Amino acid sequence: MTTPFDPARQQASTVCLPPGVWATVLDCLCDHFKGISREQWLDRFARGRVLDAQGQAIVAELPYRRGMRLHYFREVANEKVIPVQEEILHIDEHLVVADKPHFLPVTPTGEYVEHTLLRRLIRRLDNPHLVPLHRIDRHTAGLVLFSANPHSRSAYQRLFPERRIDKHYQAIAAALPERAFPLVHRSRLVHGEPFFRMHEVEGADNSETHACVLEKNGELWRYGLSPVTGKTHQLRVHMAALGAGICNDPFYPQLLNEQDDYAKPLKLLAQSLRFEDPLTGEMRYFESRLKLDW
């Protein structure tokens, strides 16, 4: 007997059916998502993984209607297992704080759906309302803050765009004895080629990082990094621009076409978060239990 699928345990993607001349919803979805086979869609319909706007499972033969709003659940066939384990550091009515290991994505993306921090925590805590309040790269380890309550979510979400939260990272990279620390690095970051890599260009600054030296160990130094802005890969690009790409970085300063090597993680850690709680006014401080070794 097939176990009923409970959509409340996962987060659905949403699509509004575009204009066209399809006979059924299935025909439209097959044309719209060419990377997903007709057989995969039929299997999803059969398992109740395509829902209408009210969250009810629909059949593949449902007549097409322009603008129809549907929910579906992303799946990756034979998804690769990521052999790392997250740790939950804090839980309350409003927040969950987790320590994310290297290589684990925060949210479903590309070839990763079930093996993501978000999906793992939803299953562990039995809370389908979890939403990450910020993101860190798949290659980066450390703290990720989640909203656990839709009613208070917006208050915590505003902390990040309004820059009312202090984020501190550690990185291990080549020594920079020719530079004076602490320093501030500002630049304009834009998406480059391939699309997932960022690079610095001329123009008004849109990124800012404060850097200091925490420890020296021969040709390698441990740096303290505090991003004022939150651009994609900001710390990785800025360290490479300073002349000290972070150890084991597969993207910067050069793109390396290598598979994940769990013995050589990126030496970047989201080490601490500090903020005034928008609901209570108390100061909150969270610190990662993970460490960067030399």
Tell me the average pLDDT across 169-186: 98
Asked whether 222 and 212 are in contact (CB, 8 A), the reply is no
In this prediction, residue 231 carries a pLDDT of 95
pLDDT of residue 142 exceeding 90, the answer is: yes
Residues facing residue 184 across a β-bridge: 210
Asked whether 286 and 163 are in contact (CB, 8 A), the reply is no
The lowest-confidence range among 44-48, 170-174, 219-223, 290-294 is 44-48
pLDDT digits (tens, 9 = 90+) for 29-56: 999 888 788 988 998 899 888 999 888 9
Asked whether 283 and 289 are in contact (CB, 8 A), the reply is no
Domains of the chain: 7-72 (3.10.290.10), 87-287 (3.30.2350.10)
Rounded to 10°, the helix 25-32/38-46 angle is 130
pLDDT of residue 242 exceeding 90, the answer is: yes
pTM of the full structure: 0.79
Tell me the average pLDDT across 216-235: 97
Tell me the average pLDDT across 111-119: 85
pLDDT digits (tens, 9 = 90+) for 193-219: 888 899 999 999 999 999 999 999 999
Sheet with 13-16: strands ordered across:
13-16, 69-72, 50-51
Q: How many residues does the chain have?
A: 294
pLDDT of residue 24 exceeding 80, the answer is: yes
Asked whether 237 and 253 are in contact (CB, 8 A), the reply is no
Neighbour count for residue 176 (Cβ, 10 Å) = 17
What kind and span of H or E run contains 223?
strand 220-227
In this prediction, residue 8 carries a pLDDT of 43
Residues facing residue 276 across a β-bridge: 283
User: What whole-number distance in Å separates Cα of residue 132 and Cα of residue 203?
Assistant: 31
User: What whole-number distance in Å separates Cα of residue 114 and Cα of residue 73?
Assistant: 11
User: What whole-number distance in Å separates Cα of residue 190 and Cα of residue 27?
Assistant: 38
Pick from 85, 132, 119: nearest CA to 12: 119
* Mean residue pLDDT across the chain: 92
Q: Is residue 3 very low, low, confident or very high in pLDDT (cuts 50, 70, 90)? A: very low
Q: Is residue 11 very low, low, confident or very high in pLDDT (cuts 50, 70, 90)? A: low
In this prediction, residue 193 carries a pLDDT of 86
pLDDT digits (tens, 9 = 90+) for 54-112: 889 999 999 999 999 999 877 766 778 899 999 999 999 999 999 999 999 998 876 78
